[in-house]
């Protein structure tokens, strides 16, 4: 397998884009990524696009073809990938595999979702399809409810508090202040979170990621090819790519206090990179709900199981802490147009490793990690990065 690097990135602002269409978002992110790479459209040999629920959100399917058409990339093969909120991470992994295998030298990978065209109720129904429709969504279990079950179990088993979960949101909002692409660039306090009203107890409004529009794109290139083309000055290498699955329904899980797919994918990723959790300088984690970040730092091995709440409360995940997490603002503050998230995480790694994460830079960052989760944990993708 060949080494693969990210050589260009493109990102739209995440938020409510009433004046921009699905096609507009694709064009903005895709063109930015190609321009940033220094390549031409004719150099792109294939496209991989993550998109979860465009049929329900905007009534449009056949997204692979739409992306290639919109970016003027015909007739290259263009494929849509779907794995709920991990659609972006899965697209990145598939693009990585095709370049690493030698099938292609240069591919474009993106993720997009436009979620604000429908009502909150309809958006919730679309997102609910990421769980078990028959035993969960049909019975009234929304995604906040499913993660609330995990939060309650974590609180019962380990003594995790609502204030510790609130600390996740507070930290991520603070990070987002210095991110021009973030949906929410305002600081909040523990008190703000605690007073924001329950969505599904113990999760409150400010424990939850928002409904967002947005797109993200990266250009992948075989590292050896990038060196020959002399375009490695800002490239970052993907040193690990791993994916794992678990049961779709929470009722069939062995535990509600961990996401086993994260543990399995993380183990594989660390083995591929020949590194340990202590070697990671920063991590972009899937904080769809505050409890999800706490479980992630445990399942990835950054702290012991059950100690994630206290670890966060003590400031260990803040910039300057033991393992800075979600320097971009995470899903909570940067926003969560679901299929764009996994690509946005890779873009944050690109910025951090190139020392361009202005105002939120992790000093001396050399190794980054991204964890992208689908649904309540039925899919997890873990990528690791370093300067090429």
Q: What is the mean pLDDT of residues 121-143?
A: 92
The whole-number average pLDDT for the span 99-112 is 98
pLDDT(387) > 90: no
The whole-number pLDDT of residue 245 equals: 98
Q: What is the pLDDT of residue 171?
A: 98
pLDDT class of 213 with cuts at 50, 70, 90 = very high
3-state SS string for the chain: CCCEEEEEEEECCCECCCCCCHHHHHHHHHHHHHHHHCCCHHHCCCEEEECCCHHHHHCCCCHHHHHHHHCCCCCCCEEEECECECHHHHHHHHHHHHHHCCCCCEEEEEEEEECCCCCHHHHHHHHHCCCCHHHHHCCCCCHHHHHHHHHHHHHHHHCCCHHHHHHHHHHHHHHHCCCCCCCCCCCCCHHHHHCCCEEECCEEHHHECCCCEEEEEEEEEEHHHHHHCCCCCCCEEEEEEEEEECCCCHHHCCCCCCCHHHHHHHHHHHHHHCCCHHHCCEEECCCCEHHHHHHHHHHCCCCCCCCHHHHHHCCCCCCCCCCCECCCCHHHHHCCCHHHHHHHHHHHHHHHHCCCCCCCCCCCCCEEEEEEEECCCCEEEEEEEEEC
State phi, psi for 256 to the nearest 5 degrees. -95, -5
pLDDT per residue as tens digits for the range 318-369 = 999 999 999 999 999 999 999 999 999 999 999 999 999 999 999 999 999 9
Question: Tell me, what's the pLDDT at 231?
Answer: 86
Round the average pLDDT of the chain to a whole number and report it: 97
Please tell me which residue in 17, 51, 85, 380 is annotated as part of the active site.
Answer: 85
The residues, any chain, with a CB within 8 Å of residue 273's CB and separated by 6 or more, are: 239, 240, 367, 384
* Beta strand pairing call for 198-200 and 213-222: unpaired
Does 140 have pLDDT greater than 80? yes
Mean pLDDT of 171-179: 98
Q: What is the pLDDT of residue 250?
A: 95
Active site residue 85: yes
CB distance 218 to 347 below 8 Å:
yes
- Selecting among 154, 286, 334, 336, the annotated active-site residue is 336
pLDDT of residue 273 exceeding 80: yes
Cis amide leading into 202 (omega within 30): yes
Q: What is the pLDDT of residues 37-88, one digit of tens each?
A: 999 999 999 999 999 999 999 999 999 999 999 999 999 999 999 999 999 9
Catalytic (active site) residue 336: yes
**Distance from the Cα of residue 333 to its chain's centroid:** 13
pLDDT classification of 13: cutoffs 50, 70, 90: very high
Peptide bond connecting 192 to the previous residue in cis, omega within 30 degrees of 0:
no
pLDDT digit string, tens, across residues 183-197:
999 999 999 999 999
Query: CB within 8 A of 287, min separation 6: which ones?
Result: 168, 172, 209, 293, 296, 326, 330, 331, 332
Model-wide pTM > 0.95: yes
The confidence score (pLDDT) of residue 305 equals 97
Whole-angstrom CA distances from 178 to 172, 174, 222, 262, 370 are: 11, 8, 32, 29, 20
Q: Please, what are the domains in the chain?
A: 4-119+211-237 (3.40.47.10), 141-204+239-387 (3.40.47.10)
Nearest to 173 by CA among 208, 147, 223: 208
pLDDT of residue 232: 84
Residue 276 buriedness (CB in 10 A; 0-12 / 13-18 / 19+): exposed
Cβ neighbours of 1 (radius 10 Å): 11
pLDDT in tens, 218-239: 999 999 999 999 888 899 999 9
Q: What are phi and psi of 50, to 5 degrees?
A: -85, 135
Phi-psi region at 179: left, alpha or beta (left = phi > 0; alpha = psi -120 to 50):
beta
């Amino acid at each position: 397998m060949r080494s693969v690097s990210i050589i260009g990135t493109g990102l739209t602002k995440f938020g409510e884009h009433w004046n921009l269409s699905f096609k507009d978002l694709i064009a903005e992110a895709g063109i930015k990524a190609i321009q940033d790479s220094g390549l031409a459209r004719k150099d792109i040999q294939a496209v991989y696009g993550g998109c979860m629920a465009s049929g329900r959100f905007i009534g449009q399917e056949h997204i692979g073809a739409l992306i290639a058409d919109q970016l003027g990339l015909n007739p290259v093969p263009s494929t849509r990938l779907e794995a709920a909120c991990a659609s972006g991470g899965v697209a990145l992994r598939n693009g990585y595999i095709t370049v690493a295998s030698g099938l292609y030298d240069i591919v474009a990978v993106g993720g997009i979702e436009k979620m604000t065209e429908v009502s909150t109720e309809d958006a919730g129904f679309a997102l609910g399809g990421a769980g078990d429709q028959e035993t969960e969504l049909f019975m009234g279990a929304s995604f906040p409810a499913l993660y609330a079950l995990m939060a309650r179990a974590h609180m019962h088993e380990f003594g995790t508090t609502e204030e510790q979960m609130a600390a996740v949101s507070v930290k991520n909002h603070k990070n987002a202040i210095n991110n021009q692409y973030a949906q929410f660039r305002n600081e909040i306090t523990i008190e703000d979170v605690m007073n924001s009203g329950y969505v599904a107890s113990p999760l409150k409004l400010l424990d939850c990621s928002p409904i967002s529009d947005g797109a993200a794109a990266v250009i992948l290139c075989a590292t050896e090819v990038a060196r020959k083309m002399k375009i490695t000055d800002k490239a970052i290498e993907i040193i690990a790519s791993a994916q794992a699955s678990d049961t779709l329904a929470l009722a069939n899980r062995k535990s509600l206090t961990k996401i086993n797919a994260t543990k399995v994918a993380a183990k594989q990723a660390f083995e591929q990179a020949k590194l340990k959790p202590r070697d990671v300088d920063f991590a972009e984690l899937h904080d769809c709900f505050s409890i999800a970040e706490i479980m992630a730092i445990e399942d990835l091995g950054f702290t012991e199981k059950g100690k994630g709440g206290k670890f966060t409360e003590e400031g260990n995940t803040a910039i300057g802490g033991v393992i800075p997490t979600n320097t971009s603002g995470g899903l909570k503050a940067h926003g969560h147009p679901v299929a764009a998230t996994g690509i946005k995480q890779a873009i944050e790694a690109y910025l951090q490793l190139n020392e361009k994460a202005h105002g939120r830079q992790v000093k001396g960052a050399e190794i980054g990690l991204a964890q992208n989760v689908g649904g309540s944990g039925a899919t997890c993708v873990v990528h690791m990065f370093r300067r090429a």
